[in-house]
Amino acid sequence: MRKWVVLAFVFCFVSLTTYAQGFYFDVGLGLGKGWTKVDGYDMVDGLKSAGVSVSELAFELGLKAGYGPFGNIPLYVVGEFGGFGHRIYDSTGYLQFNSYIIGPGVIFYPVSLIQLGLSMGYSFTSNQTDIPGLSIDNSKGGFAWNISAALDFGKKNNGCLLGVKYFNANNKLKTSNVDEKASMFGIFIKYAYRNKVPSSLE
């Protein structure tokens, strides 16, 4: 069944890109607020409730590549590889929960200044720690999605995206067989290469 779903996606992607005007690409990074729950246990709130004074940092990296627009429709079909890290740390060391996404997405311009994006797909984790004697579990695989809105500065092929994004990932951990749920809300800046057409709403 999974093989047929993948083949159907590839067929649709190839069919759509046949009518696309050109190549789309963006890459960039962001910062924000992260949340990580392992088996329902909120890592930051739980540690603070236990009297551990911790700090945290959440950051994301990602790129998208695809084709568009399609005729006069300001729609782009893309594939995304990206992820975010949620680091929780104090003077003794750190825990870092890294969640990734690989999957298809769409980008739409309701007006030429505003870009809206949605991606979803396969997820995995690559968690890390430098605390002596502590091992940290990674995932069997899972599902992730993100949604974004950005201002697109630049009228020609090269542009700069400044926006906000919400990222959500759900993974099943290998050894413990429990769920890891991670999310991030943040701001990002990206370089974008694209062909733009005026929106039908303008």
Percent of the chain with pLDDT over 90: 71
Residues 165 and 147: their CA atoms lie apart, in Å, by: 6
CA atoms within 13 A on the CB side of 151: 3
Question: What does the pLDDT look like over 137-172, one tens digit per residue?
Answer: 899 899 999 999 999 998 789 999 999 999 999 999
Domain boundaries 2-193, corresponding CATH code: 2.40.160.20
Nearest in space to 142 (alpha carbons), one of 107, 186, 103: 103
- Domain residue ranges in the chain: 2-193
Mean pLDDT of 49-56: 89
pLDDT in the model for residue 8: 47
| Confidence band for 202, pLDDT divided at 50, 70 and 90 | low
Q: In terms of pLDDT, which residue wins out, 25 or 132?
A: 25
The C-alpha angle 16, 151, 68, rounded to 5 degrees, equals: 15
pLDDT in the model for residue 102: 97
Q: Is 7 helix (H, G, I), strand (E, B) or coil?
A: helix
pLDDT in the model for residue 20: 55
pLDDT in the model for residue 7: 47
Provide the Cα torsion 69, 27, 58, 34; round to 10°.
10
